[in-house]
Amino acid sequence: MMNIKDMSKEERAKLLAELQNEEKKNRIERRETYEGLRAEMMHDVWQRLTRVVTDVRGFHDWLQGEVESFVSVMRDYGQVRKNDQRSYTITDGDFRLEISSNKVKGFDERADLAAERLIDYLKRYMEQSERGSDDPMYQMAMTLLERNKAGDLDYKSISKLYELEDKFDSEYSEIMTLFKEANVVQKNAINYYFYQKNPKTNVWERVEPSFCRL
């Protein structure tokens, strides 16, 4: 092996260039290997995820139909004619199914008008405030007007706006009245919960088909 000290300036430069090219080549190969592994893993994850999502959606649709049919039979068996109750707990052996129906509150189109008026009102309020956009009342109200991923106003957040009426004037109260008039019950949300009795403790334990509970 040639000693670097014995090399000429040109030979050293050539050797350095060769080493740099080799390092660059190795880096490119490592990058391509990494990106290939990443693509392969993400492809496998996506394929399995879509199968799971499809299965879960199919299970939900199937469960919904089965529950509706059974509840109809159950109500007929019990000779119940009124349709007020929508939540039930069904138990068979060590397995239990809880059907929970809740009214989901929301807003109609008047809430969009109220939100538009409120944003304009808050901008005028900010301009008159000594703190401007740093005014805590302005920041709080604007935060409560944020919409969810579906683009809808949050019922609980808007309800908190009502509590600020004494902080503003009569125009603010008028806007809150419009929000209240827009408040409607949109639909019934039905959730299903599963339980299995622990044979050792004799306690019902929730069976959670969720990553968060594994």
What is residue 141's predicted lDDT score, i.e. its pLDDT? Answer: 86
What is residue 213's predicted lDDT score, i.e. its pLDDT? Answer: 65
User: Helix 155-162 to helix 170-182 angle, to the nearest 10 degrees?
Assistant: 150
Contact between 98 and 107 under an 8 Å Cβ cutoff? The reply is no
Contact between 145 and 118 under an 8 Å Cβ cutoff? The reply is yes
Q: Which residues partner with 91 through β-bridges?
A: 96
Residues 125 and 74 in one domain: no
Q: Which residues partner with 105 through β-bridges?
A: 185
Residues in the chain: 214
| Cα–Cα distance measured from residue 138 to residue 155, given in angstroms and rounded to the nearest whole number | 19
Residues 99 and 196 in one domain: yes
Residues 63 and 115 in one domain: no
What is residue 211's predicted lDDT score, i.e. its pLDDT? Answer: 74
What is residue 52's predicted lDDT score, i.e. its pLDDT? Answer: 92
Q: CA–CA distance from 166 to each of 28, 76, 101, 128 (Å)?
A: 65, 53, 36, 18
pLDDT, block means (10 residues), the chain with 214 residues: 73 85 90 93 94 93 93 86 80 94 83 92 87 85 82 84 88 93 81 92 89 67
What is residue 56's predicted lDDT score, i.e. its pLDDT? Answer: 92
What is residue 54's predicted lDDT score, i.e. its pLDDT? Answer: 93
What is residue 121's predicted lDDT score, i.e. its pLDDT? Answer: 92
**Overall number of domains in the chain:** 2
**DSSP letter string, 70-91:** HHHHHHHHTT--------EEEE
Give the dihedral of Cα atoms 207, 211, 213, 214; nearest 10 deg: 90
Last residue of a domain, one of 80, 100, 124: 80
What is residue 132's predicted lDDT score, i.e. its pLDDT? Answer: 86
Residues 132 and 193 in one domain: yes
Last residue of a domain, one of 80, 100, 125: 80
Q: Report how far Cα 123 is from the mean position of its chain's Cα atoms.
A: 30
Contact between 176 and 162 under an 8 Å Cβ cutoff? The reply is yes
Residues 172 and 207 in one domain: yes
Last residue of a domain, one of 33, 64, 80: 80
| Cα–Cα distance measured from residue 2 to residue 52, given in angstroms and rounded to the nearest whole number | 62
What is residue 187's predicted lDDT score, i.e. its pLDDT? Answer: 72
Output Rg (C-alpha) for the chain, integer angstroms.
32
What is residue 186's predicted lDDT score, i.e. its pLDDT? Answer: 72
- Segments forming the whole domain that contains residue 58: 6-80
> pLDDT tens for residues 84-102?
777 899 999 999 999 998 8
Residues 76 and 140 in one domain: no
User: Helix 110-128 to helix 170-182 angle, to the nearest 10 degrees?
Assistant: 160
Q: What is the pTM of this model?
A: 0.58
